[in-house]
Amino acid sequence: MHRAYRYRFYPTDAQAQQLARTFGCVRHVYNWALDLRSTAWSASKERVNYHETARRLALLKTDAEKSWLNDVSSVALQQSLRHLDKGLANFFAGRAKYPRFKSKRDNVQAASYMTNGFTLRDSRLTLAKHDAPLDVRWSRPLPADAKISSVTVTRDAANRYHVSILLDETVVPLPQSDRAVGVDMGLAHLAITSDGQKIDNPKHLARKLARIQRWQRKLARKREAAKAALGLEGKKVPKGTRIPRSNNAAKMSRRIAKIHAAVRDARRDHLHKVSTIIIRENQAVCVEDLAVTNMVKNRNLASAIQDAGWRELRSMLEYKAALYGRQFEVVSRWLPSSKRCSACGYTMESLPLSVREWTCPHCGTGHDRDINAAKNILAAGLAQLREHSTAGHAGMHACQAPKGAT
């Protein structure tokens, strides 16, 4: 099972320059090879494969005008050719769009290294053509016997650097637990478990969101003004038209990207802790189908963040369950999880969203709305698991870690 571990790092000025050179060369080589392969095909129906591009790259590097390509790691350049090859293969298999040219304006700049392009010893990660290790913040330990398959370095729109280390991991089942848990997505809380835990996004996110929203409104007004200056007031912008942006506006959108990134990171850290605890403590984890949780439509930024948080928590639970030999069960969408009494099964005719606590008229049990829903999800999930096992599937789902999962 492949799994990525992502860490922030802080390059020195010299390292940042070397990385900028590398990103530039990686982009250049990618675009050069994309052009080469596309042109060969459209002009003479000739298929240029990866090995041929690698051979021609070696020639290109001997060209005096392209000698700067030798200043960066050749491994990163080769990886760029491999990425293109994969992109084209995906296109021809009908899995993806045709690869597009990379731009220095793209939000994320990246370079990948196979194992011959870096060294990692005693937490010191040094890339090829770098004379010192990167200052990596090892926010969680790499598994001791980890088999590394590649390392990817990125710089995002907020000018932050991350290294993503891809590991080949074997499933390590945790000791059996006799506990199971249901997880419900809430409105007041991000998620609620059947054993009464209420999981929120970290509190400080709300304040940051308010700031982002204020700046985004300002930015939108600036953009409208720029459109009006082009005579496009209130109209759709035709394709290919660039709306000019002031330095101030560019600075503001960088600040917005920075806060967004900080919000994302803080949330991810938090959800990692929460999901690890849930998986460690329970043999089975049951969640509601995402289609149901789509009731939180993206009406505004706050609910979009809530939605993203839920998706992230769910995907973490799913791949950690696979990694640690736990069961992960999704219950079907029509379950009246909120309105049914988890003690006796009586179903209320209606239960307005504003009602947070209620008492079952049939058996008299007092309920917290969300915990009751989580208990129903657990019961339904366990019933489904029993069904699977009597049907001979043993109730286990082979799940893969989603790509890019950290």
Residues that bind Zn ion (CB under 5 A): 341, 343-344, 346, 360, 362-363, 365
Helix (H/G/I), strand (E/B), else coil: 276: helix
d(CA 322, CA 38): 40
Residue 295's alpha-carbon distances to 45, 316, 353, in angstroms, are: 49, 21, 12
In this structure, what token pair is assigned to residue 304? 């979009």
Cβ closest to Zn ion, residue 79 vs residue 338: 338
Contact 277, 177 (CB under 8 A): no
d(CA 258, CA 156): 9
Identified catalytic residue from 35, 156, 370, 387: 370
**Rounded to the nearest whole angstrom, what is the least distance from the CB of residue 392 to Zn ion in the complex?**
34
d(CA 33, CA 69): 14
Q: Count CB neighbours of 391 within 10 A.
A: 9
**Rounded to the nearest whole angstrom, what is the least distance from the CB of residue 367 to Zn ion in the complex?**
8
Cβ closest to Zn ion, residue 26 vs residue 341: 341
Cβ closest to Zn ion, residue 227 vs residue 375: 375
How many Cα atoms within 13 Å fall on the side-chain side of residue 307? 15
d(CA 180, CA 385): 11
Cβ closest to Zn ion, residue 320 vs residue 369: 369
**Which residues lie below 8 Å from residue 202, measured CB to CB, with a gap of 6+?**
266, 267, 270
**Rounded to the nearest whole angstrom, what is the least distance from the CB of residue 358 to Zn ion in the complex?**
10
Identified catalytic residue from 85, 184, 312, 318: 184
Cβ closest to Zn ion, residue 244 vs residue 345: 345
User: Phi and psi dihedrals of 331, rounded to 5?
Assistant: -90, 150
In the annotation, is 357 catalytic?
Answer: no
**Rounded to the nearest whole angstrom, what is the least distance from the CB of residue 305 to Zn ion in the complex?**
35
**Rounded to the nearest whole angstrom, what is the least distance from the CB of residue 182 to Zn ion in the complex?**
17
**Rounded to the nearest whole angstrom, what is the least distance from the CB of residue 185 to Zn ion in the complex?**
23
Cβ closest to Zn ion, residue 225 vs residue 355: 355
How many Cα atoms within 13 Å fall on the side-chain side of residue 197? 12
Helix (H/G/I), strand (E/B), else coil: 163: strand
Identified catalytic residue from 288, 312, 318, 329: 288
Helix (H/G/I), strand (E/B), else coil: 200: coil
Q: Count CB neighbours of 47 within 10 A.
A: 11
* Residue closest to 7 by CA, chosen among 149, 166, 163: 163
Tell me which residues are annotated as active site. 184, 288, 370
